[in-house]
Amino acid sequence: MSGAAAPRAAGPSEGELFKRILGAEWGKLHPDIQRRFGKNPAPGLPLYYRGELSELRSSRIAKLLGYLSMPLIQGALIPYDDAHFPVDIQVYSKPGCAFIFKQRIYRLTRRKAIRFTSYMRESEKGEVLEYVGMGLGMKLLLAVRDGNLHFTSDGYFWDILGWRMPLPAILTPGTTFLRHCNDNPQQFNIRIDIEHCLFGRTFTQVGVFREMPDAQHEQDAA
């Protein structure tokens, strides 16, 4: 028996956080991007996106780092090369929690699917922090260029009992550059590059994603 979709109660959204951080720059974002990030995923009512990565690459040193880090942060650093495979994204919240969670499922070719979950929060200083597991995270700087949203990491850290210990750049995967560009009201494309201070480009992801209505996702999952 089916009925009307349950209304989404107010919850935390990336847009609320990004709007505070960007200030007047938020108004320069494409309206589709503002609407996309402004959605509030209430607990139990996540947002779904489905897409395809046309490119997944990692350098030799990146593959080594990816394999070594797998037991701690599986999926954050994928040590494989692949192309044209599906990826599902779920953005959700938890009751009584101000964090925004994002789960990605990479359905690689001829490999077991990789599940990776991170969460984003605002620090006491008004910084955007993204945690990838085991207390490891990075500070993100936001910028608007040509109506699109750009993220650049500004240092990695290890959060130990609420104290953020900065990690030397040489011991990290490198500086992360993420670009979210709008294609149309339902579709966007992303590009992620990580550049190490000594080893150059270590990781790359390029893909296109579409928003999925709840009903469509439930039908596919059935």
| pLDDT tens digit sequence for 19-31 | 999 999 999 999 9
Residue 5 has pLDDT above 80, yes or no: no
* The pLDDT value given to residue 112: 95
Q: What does the pLDDT read at residue 213? A: 85
Distance CA 50, CA 86 (A): 7
Q: Which has more pLDDT, 19 or 216?
A: 19
Work out the pLDDT band at 74, boundaries 50, 70, 90. Answer: confident
Neighbours of 41 (CB within 10 A): 22
Spatial CB neighbours of 221, under 8 Å, sequence gap ≥ 6: none
pTM for this structure? 0.90
* Residue 10 confidence (pLDDT): 58
CA nearest neighbour of 138 among 122, 126, 155, 152? 155
Q: Is the pLDDT of residue 182 over 60?
A: yes
Average pLDDT over the chain reads 92
Does the domain at residues 14-221 carry the CATH identifier 2.40.128.20?
yes
- Structural tokens at position 135: 């207390």
Identify the band that residue 210 occupies on the pLDDT scale cut at 50, 70 and 90: very high
Task: Identify residue 68 by its one-letter amino acid code.
Answer: L
Quick check: 41 pLDDT over 80?
A: yes
- What tens digit of pLDDT does each residue of 76-96 get? 999 999 999 999 999 999 999
Residue 217 confidence (pLDDT): 52
pLDDT confidence of residue 216:
54
- Residue-wise pLDDT for 11-21, tens only, equals 788 999 999 99
Percentage of residues of the chain with pLDDT beyond 70:
91
Q: Going along the chain, which residue ranges are E strands?
A: 47-58, 85-92, 100-106, 114-122, 128-133, 136-145, 148-160, 163-166, 175-184, 187-196, 200-212
